[in-house]
Structure 1
Amino acid sequence: MTTPKLGRIETVPALDRPDLLAAPVAAALRGWAHAGRVGVVEIDPAVADTAAMAAAYEIGMDTGANCVVVGGSRAGDERIAACLVRSDTRADVNSRVRKELDVRKASFLSMDRAVEESGMEYGGITPIGLPDGWRLLVDTRVLDVEVAVIGSGVRRSKLLIPGSLAAELPRAEVIPYLAG
């Protein structure tokens, strides 16, 4: 099976390069039936942020998918979700995400906490290999992206997956209008 390609970005099978993956990402891919459709590419960590990556590789912002971590609580019960949204949109944290989590107020998890609990680097957090107990909310528009660029858990690489495959990620909940 060939791995995804996008513009100048050519990938190798992600499991062939575990050195380019955070440990929880590699572990999750090893147990996922669709791992063979996931490619990885090594990049300069300086261009790991979405806009820099898009400019460096001459790809559209609509090809990326950002994973942001949001939390809130209700009656002392903390609820955390990773939200996967297209890079040219923003997660609607104050309305849609808050309603999905059923909390009064939702906010982004602090960088330190998201990094520590996910086992991934800031700027590389991905929906693959998330901690148990975290929900995964996927905006429907991600599924329409032919090849989506997502994090690999580390800043020095990116994963490429068919956008439709995001619906098959473990614990994925596909949500319309998750992003604005």
Structure 2
Amino acid sequence: MHSHEFVQQLDVITADQWGAHLPAHVVEQLPAQGITVFGVTDDASDTAAFSARYGFGLEDCANTIVIRYKKDGGEHYAALVSLGSRRLDVNGAVKAVLGAQRLSFAQRETAVEHSRMEFGGITAFGLPQDWRILVDAAVMERMQIVMGAGVRAAKLLLSPEVLRQWPRCEVAELTLPLSAE
């Protein structure tokens, strides 16, 4: 199945309607070109259910995970974008890239409060300016990826190239294959 056939099956939200469906601070940061926004039902918002319902493989679903870390005596947040088919190497690669002394996954409430997005729908676009946004190198190898859109009721379909051209995106090796222990 080709990607254009996919898009026809999706409940596409046109750019002039983004503001009615997505948080304003997400819409402000979305690149004008190269992104398709589409609606999803809440029960299909989580990655595995979404994958089964819409036919996108886990290797095409990019999750945005919020972490909190300590560095130079201060507390910071970062967002990690990685594929559903890979495992974040949090205490190795991620820690090294951030130069963090300690890090942990942000608690659900904290992630929601700071991102001002719905849990399960957090996306890289629209996050606070002082957050680092790290995208796993494996994401860049895909033809297209699906990401959260700030709410559970929508997703973004885009080429990783859109992320590569986005000034806030830092590409780094952050993950291991799921099979690796």
- Structures share fold, TM-score greater than 0.5: yes
The secondary structure found in structure 1 opposite 2:129 is coil
Matches of 2:101 and 2:16 in 1, distance apart? 40
Matches of 2:5 and 2:19 in 1, distance apart? 19
Moved more, 140-149 or 48-57: 140-149
- Give the match for residue 59 of structure 2: 62
Q: Is contact 1:98-1:105 (8 Å) kept? A: yes
Q: Which runs of 5+ in 2 are unaligned?
A: 177-181
Q: Is contact 2:10-2:39 (8 Å) kept? A: no
- Give the match for residue 143 of structure 1: 140
| Structure 1 segments (4+ residues) deviating >6 Å | none
The secondary structure found in structure 1 opposite 2:167 is coil
Superposition pairs for residues 92-171 of structure 1, below 5 Å? 92-171=89-168
Per the TM alignment, residue 74 of structure 1 is displaced from its structure 2 partner at its CA by 2.6
Q: Are 1:179 and 2:180 an aligned pair?
A: no
Given residue 23 of structure 1, which amino acid in structure 2 is its aligned partner?
A: A
Per the TM alignment, residue 10 of structure 1 is displaced from its structure 2 partner at its CA by 5.7
Task: Return the match for 2:77 from 68, 77, 80.
Answer: 80
Quick one: structure 1 residues 174 and 4, their matched pair in 2 at CA, closer, same or farther if it must change by over 3 Å? farther
Per the TM alignment, residue 36 of structure 1 is displaced from its structure 2 partner at its CA by 2.3
TM-score, with length taken from structure 1: 0.88
Q: Which runs of 5+ in 1 are unaligned?
A: none
Matches of 1:105 and 1:15 in 2, distance apart? 42
Residue by residue over 1:23-65, the C-alpha shift from the partner in whole angstroms, topping out at 9 and shown as x without a partner, is 2111212xxxx42211111110111110000001122111110
The secondary structure found in structure 2 opposite 1:165 is helix
Residue by residue over 1:45-101, the C-alpha shift from the partner in whole angstroms, topping out at 9 and shown as x without a partner, is 111110000001122111110100112113421232101111111221111111112
Residue by residue over 1:106-143, the C-alpha shift from the partner in whole angstroms, topping out at 9 and shown as x without a partner, is 11111111111111100000011111110000111111
Matches of 1:11 and 1:147 in 2, distance apart? 16
TM-score, with length taken from structure 2: 0.87
Quick one: structure 1 residues 170 and 46, their matched pair in 2 at CA, closer, same or farther if it must change by over 3 Å? farther
RMSD: 1.9
Residue by residue over 1:128-163, the C-alpha shift from the partner in whole angstroms, topping out at 9 and shown as x without a partner, is 111111000011111121111000000001011112
Quick one: structure 1 residues 15 and 97, their matched pair in 2 at CA, closer, same or farther if it must change by over 3 Å? farther
